[in-house]
Amino acid sequence: MHESLLIYRNMRYLKVAVALVTVTGLLYALHSPVENPNGGTWLGYTLGTLSASIMGWLAWYGVRKRSFGGPSIRMEDWASAHVYLGIALVIVSTFHSGFQFGVNVHTLLYFLMLIVVFSGVAGLYFYMRFPRLLSENRRGLTTDMMLGQIAELDSELSAYAVTLDDATAKAVFNAVHNTEIGGNLLSQLTVDNPNCPTLLARKFVERSDGSHDEATRRKLLTRLSKKEGLLRRIRQDTKLRCLLQLWLYVHVPFTFATLAALVTHVVVVFYYW
Amino acid sequence: MKVLSRYGTRKSSGDLAIRDEWMDCDAVLIGRSTACDIRLTDPRILLEHARVTVRSNEVYVETVGEGSMSVNGNMVDLAKVSELDVLQIGPFQVIIEPNKGDSDLTISVELINPLGDELENLKSRANIGIKSIGISKRKWSWAAALTVLAVALFWPMVISWFVPEPLVNVEQADTYDAVVTPTEFWTSGGISAAHKFFGESCEVCHEKPFIPVQDTACLTCHQSIEHHTDPVHFPTASFDGDKCQSCHKEHQGNQTVARNDQDFCVDCHADLTGQEPTTMLRNVQDFGTDHPEFLPSVVVDPALRQMSREKSMSGPDLPTENSGLTFPHADHLRKSGVRHPTEGIVELGCRTCHVPDEGNVSMLPIDFDRHCHQCHTLTFDLQLPDRELVHGQPEELFMQVSDIYNATALRGGYEEPDAPVIVRRRPGTPLKETDRVAARNWAEEKSAQILSGRFGKGQCGECHSVVDNPTTGVWTVEPVYITEKWFPKSTFDHGSHSEVGCLSCHAVDTSEKSSDVLMPAIEVCQSCHGGEVASNRVPSTCITCHDFHIDGMKPMRPEKSAASQTGSRLAVVDPDALRHVTSVSP
């Protein structure tokens, strides 16, 4: 991603997409069929064939990017064209539909396609923005290094906790042993958890009065705060890396669903021609 | 009480290293605190967790405060324990051992559940990365694709094979129950209003899979749909090669499938005279801006029923109708009223005579008995007030009047002072033979006098043209033929214009002559109606007033109409119902 897909080759594929959309838009504007504009007119069939071809080509990108040493077209060309033609597909297929929507298999296809395209746009946004956020957040640390620091703090906290009253020791024990990093999808996407045991332990120690000496309290607080900071960074890191992959878990399955709906759409249209 | 506590530590080799500690106390307090007798340095242990006491040589263990423990796996707060019992306090295993040396109580303690390496512990607990969630793109993809195919494609298709084929005919429309097929989910748009009654049965129109809808499907109901014109005379309007579907697009929602766009007609009619030089129709492009003036069809010869359509309503040479009837509208619609024979002065209105048909579209024909007779009674003799001239049969008239006076003369009792005595005699008195001749003479004379007088020829002549036959010397009433539709190529719905007064379009109040054609000129219509794209008028297309399939034309698809009737699963309609119109209207 050293050169943005969006400005690749002086935005060659943006120009292609804009030209495509402009031509189809003009045709749609000039077209005045007998009935309301729809997918069954000559322009409707033309734009439908075009949309289906674009869909197939866009889906082929998933195959193409896994095969190395294929045709001499560079992967960056594929990716850049994939992005722009994918967005153009929304407009071309809308013209194909003639803005006729209903509760039927045809609109189902349109709806699934929108999910694929918009998840792709989300993925593109993530790819554009997150690498910088990730490195800013990590500040040179790896995940293992951050985890190591947390483990060190944990062992120190455990050692201090031994000398403390039961309530504090329990809170610190929870902070050491029950603080979750990652977890299920929601947890991986959450940075600030108000029920994080480390946060609760810090608040507990902050609130506790002179039941233990000030030096120990200060030592606990500094370590808990430091651990909190590390947790926030590692959770932010987890969230961003999760999102970087998560969009594909929408994009790819819905691509398959869209292709199935495309087959259904074409068969149905000609079954009841 | 001497107590020996033995702290066991498991070495990496697996051996157990034991550190013994002696103490003297009454009860053994176990906990994390330095004040405890047995100190267990683990955060999971409370400061003071449990207490061991010996009473009557029995060893008892009890928890302190919030402390918890288990004996042989059972959570308890107080237990008598022996050497065989396994006691667990937090991560520590505590065993009461046989006494050694002079100890009164020997307790061994071993950390069996250490906290372990914090980092490894932390790593093993940290679920980072979307793969740790255990979802698979591949499985999701296949599941999504197969679900869509199964639900949207295969299921409706397979189920529809088991749905009986529908049978529909327009004549069955009132009793027809649509066969709902599961393929309803496949529809590309709403069914038109007229087809909704079978719209859920896809196979009614889509007869065979993967074959476009054929005309035969349409002709099942619309067998005799008429042609646009005579394709032999006007080949450019043959519409050969076009299908019903070319113009009639279904699945466009709750609207009619008939075309209503001006361009469709104007495509040919803008230069019709150039395409079809023999046509009598004039070119047209837009009702508001380029539509020829109306040419009413008027009667020029009522005897021959000859019509003419030559003069337009915008003059200066206005069309005139020669219906053979004298009817000045203005005389009848005088504000001061007209004289009614029994009700005095009455004021007539348009609706007195012009009554709309049941559909409230056109006006019913004028009828003498219903509309004229009340005022225009055909009595002809004050002495015979209940006798009237026969109407509508001029050839019978002379015979009728003659018969009436002959009968009167024979019967007698005719009280007119000028009449002969034999006619005025008491009714029923026998007549002599010579008197009979005189009576017959009187009758003939009287009927001739009546017929040629004010109550005969004169009375008929009020409304009709009465002409004398110079050879026979007998007058007769000319035939009457009234135009039913002055604009037969268009339809006009009086009902939907009922808010507009009759006089707005028909200038009857000033019409002094019977020959006036009281139809409006196009500018009257154009004051409200414009063309298809009119912005300040009612947008009106050709179809607003004209039909595409013209009444009286031959069937548009005669060969397919016939084929449709032999279709095996299509309802057969009586062939006699098919109309084969051969004449072509001008």
pLDDT, tens digit, 9 for 90 and up, residues A190-236: 888 888 999 998 888 888 766 667 777 887 888 888 889 889 999 99
A135 within a domain of the structure (yes/no): no
Query: What is the pLDDT, as a whole number, of residue A182?
Result: 84
> Which of A231, A234, A227 shows the shortest CA–CA distance to A138?
A234
Q: Are residues A112 and A185 in the same domain?
A: no
Q: Is B119–A148 a contact, with Cβ atoms under 8 angstroms apart?
A: yes
Whether A42 contacts chain B with CB within 8 A: no
Mean pLDDT for A51-63 is 88
pLDDT category, B145, cuts 50, 70, 90?
A: very high
| pLDDT greater than 50 at residue B580 | no
Number of domains in chain B: 2
A15 within a domain of the structure (yes/no): yes
Q: How many whole angstroms separate alpha carbon B156 and alpha carbon B148?
A: 12
Q: From the candidates A108, A130, A268, which should be mutated to test the interface with B, based on the most B CB atoms within 10 A?
A: A268
Q: Are residues B164 and B97 in the same domain?
A: no
Question: Nearest CA to CA, how far is B19 from chain A (Å)?
Answer: 21
Mean pLDDT for B171-197 is 72
A159 within a domain of the structure (yes/no): yes
B234 within a domain of the structure (yes/no): yes
Mean pLDDT for B146-161 is 87
DSSP code of B339?
E
Interacting residues of B155 by C-beta distance below 8 A, sequence separation 6+: B182
Q: Are residues B107 and B175 in the same domain?
A: no
Of B56, B91, B116, the one marking the end of a domain is B116
* Predicted confidence (pLDDT) per residue in A100-119, tens digit: 888 888 999 999 999 999 99
For B251, the token pair is 């699945």
How far is residue A36 CA from its own chain's centroid?
Answer: 38
* Predicted confidence (pLDDT) per residue in B85-116, tens digit: 888 887 889 998 888 878 888 999 998 877 66
Q: Are residues A91 and A42 in the same domain?
A: yes
| pLDDT greater than 90 at residue A159 | no
| pLDDT greater than 80 at residue A76 | no
Number of domains in chain A: 2
Q: Are residues A238 and A254 in the same domain?
A: no
What single-letter amino acid sits at B229?
Answer: T
Query: What is the pLDDT, as a whole number, of residue B574?
Result: 36
B106 within a domain of the structure (yes/no): yes
Q: How many whole angstroms separate alpha carbon A118 and alpha carbon A112?
A: 10
Query: What is the pLDDT, as a whole number, of residue B584?
Result: 33
pLDDT category, A53, cuts 50, 70, 90?
A: very high
> Which of B108, B115, B117 shows the shortest CA–CA distance to B17?
B108
Q: Are residues A253 and A119 in the same domain?
A: yes
Of B116, B132, B162, the one marking the end of a domain is B116
Higher pLDDT, B568 or A92: A92
Q: Are residues A98 and A13 in the same domain?
A: yes
Q: Is A185–B130 a contact, with Cβ atoms under 8 angstroms apart?
A: yes
Q: Which residues of B touch A110 (CB under 8 A)?
A: none
For B48, the token pair is 């003071």
What single-letter amino acid sits at B151?
Answer: V
Q: Is A181–B148 a contact, with Cβ atoms under 8 angstroms apart?
A: no
B559 burial type by CB count under 10 A (0-12 exposed, 13-18 middle, 19+ buried): exposed
Mean pLDDT for A27-48 is 84
Q: How many whole angstroms separate alpha carbon B113 and alpha carbon A218?
A: 30
Collapsing DSSP to helix, strand or coil, B529 comes out as strand
For B574, the token pair is 């009586």
Q: How many whole angstroms separate alpha carbon B379 and alpha carbon B7?
A: 147
B582 within a domain of the structure (yes/no): yes
Lowest mean pLDDT among A69-83, B213-227, B381-395, B487-501: A69-83
Helix extents (H) in B183-255 = 215-219, 244-247
Query: What is the pLDDT, as a whole number, of residue B269?
Result: 92
For B223, the token pair is 């067998």
Helix (H) or strand (E) segment spanning residue A206: helix A197-207
Bridging pattern class, strands B78-81 and B58-63: antiparallel
Q: Which of A33, A148, A260 sits opposite B149 (nearest CB)?
A: A260
A149 within a domain of the structure (yes/no): yes
* Predicted confidence (pLDDT) per residue in A123-156, tens digit: 999 988 888 898 888 877 778 778 877 887 887 7
* Predicted confidence (pLDDT) per residue in A10-24, tens digit: 778 888 889 999 999
Q: Write down the mean pLDDT value for chain A.
A: 85
Q: How many whole angstroms separate alpha carbon A181 and alpha carbon B124?
A: 10
| pLDDT greater than 70 at residue B237 | yes
A134 within a domain of the structure (yes/no): no
Domain CATH for B54 = 2.60.200.20
State percent of chain A over pLDDT 70: 95
Q: Report the predicted TM-score, pTM, of the whole model to 2 decimal places.
A: 0.68
Q: Are residues A73 and A156 in the same domain?
A: no
B476 within a domain of the structure (yes/no): no
Q: How many whole angstroms separate alpha carbon B245 and alpha carbon A98?
A: 19
Higher pLDDT, B414 or A209: B414
pLDDT category, B585, cuts 50, 70, 90?
A: very low
| Chain B residue with minimum CA distance to A103 | B185
Collapsing DSSP to helix, strand or coil, A149 comes out as helix
Neighbours of B494 (CB within 10 A): 17
Which chain B residues in 159-218 lie under 8 Å from chain A, judged by CB atoms?
A: 183, 185-190, 202, 206, 209-213
Q: Are residues A237 and A253 in the same domain?
A: no
What single-letter amino acid sits at A73?
Answer: I
Interacting residues of B526 by C-beta distance below 8 A, sequence separation 6+: B287, B288, B291, B537
| pLDDT greater than 90 at residue A62 | no
For B338, the token pair is 């007209």
* Contact in structure between A117 and A89 (CB atoms under 8 Å): yes
Bridging pattern class, strands B16-24 and B2-10: antiparallel
Query: What is the pLDDT, as a whole number, of residue B134?
Result: 78
Q: Are residues A256 and A238 in the same domain?
A: no
Whether B147 contacts chain A with CB within 8 A: yes
Neighbours of B467 (CB within 10 A): 12
Query: What is the pLDDT, as a whole number, of residue A253?
Result: 93
For B432, the token pair is 């002599």
Instruction: Give the range of the structural domain holding residue B192, as residue numbers without chain letter.
Output: 149-259+548-586
Neighbours of B282 (CB within 10 A): 13
Q: Are residues A160 and A180 in the same domain?
A: yes
On the question of a cis peptide bond just before residue A37, with omega within 30 degrees of 0, the verdict is: no
B35 within a domain of the structure (yes/no): yes
Q: Is B249–A34 a contact, with Cβ atoms under 8 angstroms apart?
A: yes
φ, ψ (nearest 5 deg) of residue B487: -120, 75
Collapsing DSSP to helix, strand or coil, B108 comes out as strand
Q: Which residues of A touch B130 (CB under 8 A)?
A: 185, 188, 241-242, 245-246, 249
Neighbours of A180 (CB within 10 A): 18
Higher pLDDT, B566 or B2: B2
A178 within a domain of the structure (yes/no): yes
Mean pLDDT for B202-227 is 85
Query: What is the pLDDT, as a whole number, of residue B179?
Result: 61
| pLDDT greater than 90 at residue A265 | yes
Q: How many whole angstroms separate alpha carbon A108 and alpha carbon B65?
A: 64
B386 burial type by CB count under 10 A (0-12 exposed, 13-18 middle, 19+ buried): exposed
Q: What angle do CA B53, B56, B61 make, to 5 degrees?
A: 25
* Per-state percent for chain B, helix, strand, coil, to nearest 5: 30, 15, 55
Q: Is B188–A257 a contact, with Cβ atoms under 8 angstroms apart?
A: no
Collapsing DSSP to helix, strand or coil, A3 comes out as coil
B327 within a domain of the structure (yes/no): no
> Which of B64, B65, B61 shows the shortest CA–CA distance to B94?
B61
* Predicted confidence (pLDDT) per residue in B420-452, tens digit: 888 888 887 888 888 888 889 999 999 988 988
pLDDT category, B531, cuts 50, 70, 90?
A: very high
Q: Are residues A181 and A226 in the same domain?
A: yes
Query: What is the pLDDT, as a whole number, of residue A211?
Result: 61
Which residue reads 């722009």 in tokens? A84
φ, ψ (nearest 5 deg) of residue B345: -85, 125
Lowest mean pLDDT among A168-177, A187-196, B118-127, B248-257: B118-127
> Which of B556, B542, B554, B539 shows the shortest CA–CA distance to B489?
B542
Mean pLDDT for B139-153 is 92
Collapsing DSSP to helix, strand or coil, B497 comes out as helix
Query: What is the pLDDT, as a whole number, of residue A49?
Result: 92
Interacting residues of A142 by C-beta distance below 8 A, sequence separation 6+: none
A138 within a domain of the structure (yes/no): no
Q: Are residues A103 and A13 in the same domain?
A: yes
Higher pLDDT, B406 or B196: B406
Query: What is the pLDDT, as a whole number, of residue B577?
Result: 33
φ, ψ (nearest 5 deg) of residue B346: -125, 150
For B440, the token pair is 């017959």
| pLDDT greater than 50 at residue B563 | no
Query: What is the pLDDT, as a whole number, of residue A86?
Result: 93
On the question of a cis peptide bond just before residue B316, with omega within 30 degrees of 0, the verdict is: yes
Query: What is the pLDDT, as a whole number, of residue B175?
Result: 61
pLDDT category, A264, cuts 50, 70, 90?
A: very high
Q: Are residues B96 and B162 in the same domain?
A: no
Collapsing DSSP to helix, strand or coil, A267 comes out as helix
ipTM, two decimals, is: 0.85
Bridging pattern class, strands B87-89 and B92-97: antiparallel
Q: How many whole angstroms separate alpha carbon B388 and alpha carbon A172?
A: 126
B536 within a domain of the structure (yes/no): no
A33 within a domain of the structure (yes/no): yes
Instruction: Give the range of the structural domain holding residue A235, as residue numbers without chain letter.
Output: 143-242
B433 within a domain of the structure (yes/no): no
Q: Which residues of A touch B116 (CB under 8 A)?
A: none
Bridging pattern class, strands B2-10 and B105-111: parallel
Q: How many whole angstroms separate alpha carbon A111 and alpha carbon A257?
A: 11
Q: Are residues A208 and A228 in the same domain?
A: yes
What DSSP string describes B437-456? HHHHHHHHHHHHHHHTSTTT
